[in-house]
Structure 1
Amino acid sequence: MFKILSRTFTQHMKEPVRVVVTGGSGQIAYSLLFRIASGSLLGEHQPVILQIYDLPHMQSALKGVVMEISDGAFPLVHEIIASDTPSTVYADADYAFLVGAKPRGPGMERGDLLKQNGEIFVKVGQDLDKFAKKTVKVLAVGNPVNTNALIAMSNAPSIPKENFTAMTRLDHNRALCQLATYLNTEVHNIEKLVIWGNHSPTMFPDLTYTTLHNQKIKTKIDHIWYEKEFIPTVQQRGTAIIAARKASSAASAASAAVDHVRDWALGSNGQWVSMAVPSDLYNGEYGIPIGLIFSYPIVCANGSYQLVKDLKIDEFQHNKLRITVNELLKEKEAVVDLIRK
């Protein structure tokens, strides 16, 4: 373990919170850690203690990351703890970004990742259960995120289910960009976009309720473009990035992770966001079976999140939801031995 000593703060600063990032020497974590250190996550008055994990053979690289964060002289970084020891890294964690996982490379199918990463998230769930605060907010970033979050949640029985989420904010942000380009507008003018389901090519980026300047856009978009171009482009964006840069999305994934947890912690100001959360919380709402981590339209406030309810679902939407539900059920079945009853 290596540790950077604490700093002192002016009176307007809050008490530091502990933020865990796993896979600390990887590309996503490299982008993520600097965003957290700068205050992009929790604001300019919230000091953080960075608790960074990586495997034993990655400790030299991790030491270099810690050196760079230190050299940034970030006023909000109260302390940096980097280690390959779970009891040290997860101790009293307030937030946990579960980034560490085997990345998907060229030609690798999602199914190839299930068993390889599932066992990682069994251990992560157990470690969170032992060492983190019971109020810890957890975001799975390492793929396959929905099923990994489910595995971790099931192996942390003393932490409330609602504290485990998976990241579909990257898909949400990708969809916003594609739609803003099509409509020749800025992303902040677009509201009520939804990503349903799995963070995979079966996800459903839904524009049924989406507005531009508070006006529904359904009549402004060509349905052929929507079904044949927009949806496949968003679904396959990760694959396209791998093909282009020969590596998975990194900076955009880190940015989406910050967006996800910031809105969860500080509120989304009434705006809809897409979050993959336990379906058990919603008793079959929108026909989604219990026992999954599923992406829904969500509004965040006061450190918690709520489902956007009572939306009408037409046949087109229902068919898209069924596809992504079926994939998640198959993923769950493939790792059923890793899910604690």
Structure 2
Amino acid sequence: MNAPIILLLLDITPMLPVLEGVVMELQDCALPLLREVIATDKEEVAFKDLDAAILVGSMPRKEGMERKDLLKANVAIFRSQGAALDKYAKKTVHVLVVGNPANTNCLIAAKSAPSIPKENFSCLTRLDHNRACSQVAMRCGVPATHVKNVIIWGNHSSTQYPDVHHCKVSMSSGELACFDAVKDDSWLKGDFIATVQQRGAAVIKARKLSSAMSAAKAICDHMRDIWSGTPEGEFISMGVYSTGNPYGVPEDLIYSFPVQIKDKAWKIVDSLAINDFSKSKMDATAAELMEERDTALAFLAA
């Protein structure tokens, strides 16, 4: 992919001086495909004729804030951004929501942009996907590129389910199923899942800030795969709109599934066997998403 890029950066008015600093840094990178950077506080400028929109900003949870208060604040943000996309962006725009709670924020943005297909909206669970690949790779002593077809099911939250039942690991002895490569079922069903689920909190505890470089890399991976497609026989994780899916996930949710991408269109991988262990964890994260959705939609209707 060698298309030239015009980058539009939107922020609130008080942050424009800081945004100018970001523009300077982008210019100083001398990126070969970057043709222009436009910094603005105006939605009509930022969303005009977009091919891709990456919605990073959201209201972070503050001390003492209940989850319903967080959802209420983010409904206002993503209703506005969804409406701006509906009004100004191309109808073929691909929208990636990163700001948390990403799945529900993505659903609100999609519902606020009725003229854009819901299939064009996705939320970022690639960071969790990459974390899962890395944990398996370190355990097996191989590069992360030797691990494929892990799955993140459900919500980008601590209820997500990192699933390696269909994962393959390339070892010196050949390609093995993940459970055969790791040879530690109790770790894969216990500490591995907890580590991936809680990795974001661990990063915050260590560096006093949320994930930055790894999140940026995951965004790049996600958008690259939308534009370039996934390799034959491989799938990645994306939060996408649930409707008539093969795994019994309730409809009208943004839920992370294994997907394959071709010609900028994703398709849920529908032939995977799901055991009882996996199904219980998939249902638990779906239940959390339904509760989030119902709370957020009540605010949207108010």
TM-score category, normalised to shorter length: over 0.9
- 1:137-164 residue CA offsets vs partner (Å, 9 max, x unmatched): 0000000000000000000000001000
Q: Which of these residues, 252, 255, 269, is aligned with residue 294 of structure 1?
A: 255
% identical aligned pairs: 45
> Where does the alignment leave 5 or more consecutive residues of structure 2 unmatched?
none
Distance (Å, rounded) in 1 between the aligned partners of 2:93 and 2:23: 23
Cα offset for 1:338?
Answer: 4.3
Cα offset for 1:106?
Answer: 7.2
Distance (Å, rounded) in 1 between the aligned partners of 2:68 and 2:212: 21
Contact 2:103 2:123 in 1 (8 A): yes
For 2:209, the equivalent position in structure 1 comes to 247
Contact 2:75 2:300 in 1 (8 A): no
Letter in 2 for 1:189: H
Cα offset for 1:339?
Answer: 4.5
Q: Are residues 182 and 111 of structure 1, via their aligned partners in 2, closer, same or farther at CA, if it must alter by over 3 Å?
A: farther
Distance (Å, rounded) in 2 between the aligned partners of 1:105 and 1:256: 25
For 1:267, the equivalent position in structure 2 comes to 229
Letter in 2 for 1:315: D
For 1:316, the equivalent position in structure 2 comes to 277
2:80 aligned with 1:123, yes or no? yes
Letter in 2 for 1:200: S
Distance (Å, rounded) in 2 between the aligned partners of 1:323 and 1:332: 14
Q: Give me the TM-score of the superposition, normalised by structure 1.
A: 0.83
Q: Which moved more, 1:88-97 or 1:260-269?
A: 260-269
Name the SS of the counterpart of 1:248 in structure 2. Answer: coil
Name the SS of the counterpart of 2:294 in structure 1. Answer: helix
Residues paired across the two proteins, number: 295
Letter in 2 for 1:293: I
Aligned-pair Cα RMSD in Å? 1.6
Cα offset for 1:312?
Answer: 1.2
Cα offset for 1:72?
Answer: 2.8
- 1:50-74 residue CA offsets vs partner (Å, 9 max, x unmatched): 1110001111111121122223333
Q: Which moved more, 1:172-181 or 1:211-220?
A: 211-220
Name the SS of the counterpart of 1:277 in structure 2. Answer: strand
Cα offset for 1:108?
Answer: 6.7
Distance (Å, rounded) in 2 between the aligned partners of 1:58 and 1:337: 31
For 2:6, the equivalent position in structure 1 comes to 49
Cα offset for 1:83?
Answer: 0.6
Distance (Å, rounded) in 1 between the aligned partners of 2:118 and 2:65: 30
Contact 1:277 1:294 in 2 (8 A): yes
Distance (Å, rounded) in 2 between the aligned partners of 1:273 and 1:338: 32
Q: How does 1:169-184 map to 2 (within 5 A)?
A: 169-184=126-141
Contact 1:98 1:139 in 2 (8 A): yes
Cα offset for 1:109?
Answer: 7.0
Cα offset for 1:105?
Answer: 5.9
For 1:193, the equivalent position in structure 2 comes to 150
Distance (Å, rounded) in 2 between the aligned partners of 1:256 and 1:75: 21
Letter in 1 for 2:47: Y
Distance (Å, rounded) in 1 between the aligned partners of 2:97 and 2:86: 15
2:166 aligned with 1:204, yes or no? no
Distance (Å, rounded) in 2 between the aligned partners of 1:287 and 1:128: 31
Letter in 2 for 1:323: A
For 2:268, the equivalent position in structure 1 comes to 307
For 1:19, the equivalent position in structure 2 comes to none
Name the SS of the counterpart of 1:218 in structure 2. Answer: helix
Q: Give me the TM-score of the superposition, normalised by structure 2.
A: 0.93
Contact 1:140 1:149 in 2 (8 A): yes
2:23 aligned with 1:60, yes or no? no
Contact 1:51 1:89 in 2 (8 A): yes
Distance (Å, rounded) in 1 between the aligned partners of 2:257 and 2:71: 22
> Where does the alignment leave 5 or more consecutive residues of structure 1 unmatched?
1-42
Letter in 2 for 1:197: G
Q: How does 1:1-341 map to 2 (within 5 A)?
A: 43=1, 45-104=2-61, 113-213=70-170, 214-220=175-181, 221-270=183-232, 271-280=234-243, 283-339=244-300
- 1:12-34 residue CA offsets vs partner (Å, 9 max, x unmatched): xxxxxxxxxxxxxxxxxxxxxxx
Contact 1:59 1:84 in 2 (8 A): yes
